[in-house]
Amino acid sequence: MEPTRVMIIEDEALVAMDLAKGLEKDGYQVTGIADNAREAVELFRAGAVDILLVDVNIIGDKDGIDTATELLKHRSVPLIYLTAFTDPRTLERAKATQPSAYLAKPYTLTNVRIAIEMAMHNFAVTRQGSATGKVISLEKHSPAEASDKETILRLDDYIFVKHQYTFVRIRLADIHYVEAENNYVQLVTAERKFLLRLSFAQLLEKIDYKPLVRIHRSYAVNIDVLHAFNEQEVTVGKTVLPIGRTYREEFLKRFHFR
């Protein structure tokens, strides 16, 4: 499990530090802070970034919009502007970079958090046409939670799972197994367990990860991390899971016996 990686481009040091502190408290990882275009490009090229938070007014000849344009030429990530500039000309220039959000200063951490969540979601939606961009979004059944959604984002070899206020990144290869528990599924990695409210079958269908094989009405296992198996059960680490008769033949077909 890895936190969502955020890069901040902001020329006011105190503002940037306060924002970084608040985001890290919420579980995000701030990979770098830059106050000019050159430094921003260096940071962006040097490390992985999941989302950009950019002020329009920064130090140097290139402003935040110019800088964002240059960064997005290297690779596509969600972009959010945090700025005091709301004039029509600036807005038109910003639109050309297709930002996920444009927040006027002064903003609140809550607004930034919501904007990040929406940006991650919309970025995955725009990539649904590809083999790697998928979104699962299910309304919860409780009336008290009717406005909330259980969301999983699939991007490349990762999924992003909502945990408290933020999305955490899980490498698909690190999933050990999935267990169904009534209206929930438990996603189990070597380090953590995540309880998600959605159907077992829908999770398997939507994340579409081939090594994750259903072996029982209540279990699916990542065959790449198996330690041992026989016709009745599989072992993953210290956990032993049963193989249901209905799924045994399909499971064994994954292996080539001589």
**How confident is the model over 33-62, as pLDDT tens digits?**
999 999 999 999 998 899 999 999 999 999
Angle at 218 between CA 212 and CA 221, to 5 degrees: 20
In a domain, 52, yes or no: yes
Residue 124 makes CB contacts below 8 A (sequence gap 6+) with 133, 134, 135, 153, 154, 155, 160
Are 29 and 92 part of one and the same domain? yes
Are 94 and 38 part of one and the same domain? yes
Determine which of 86-90, 141-145, 151-155 has the lowest per-residue pLDDT on average. 141-145
CA 226, CA 213: separation in Å to the nearest integer?
A: 11
Query: Partners of 59 in the beta sheet?
Result: 36
Are 91 and 184 part of one and the same domain? no
- Of 161, 138, 54, 35, nearest to 100 (Cα)? 54
Are 14 and 104 part of one and the same domain? yes
**How confident is the model over 113-124, as pLDDT tens digits?**
888 888 887 787
Neighbours of 203 (CB within 10 A): 20
CA 25, CA 90: separation in Å to the nearest integer?
A: 32
Domain containing 204: what range? 174-252
The amino acid at 102: Y
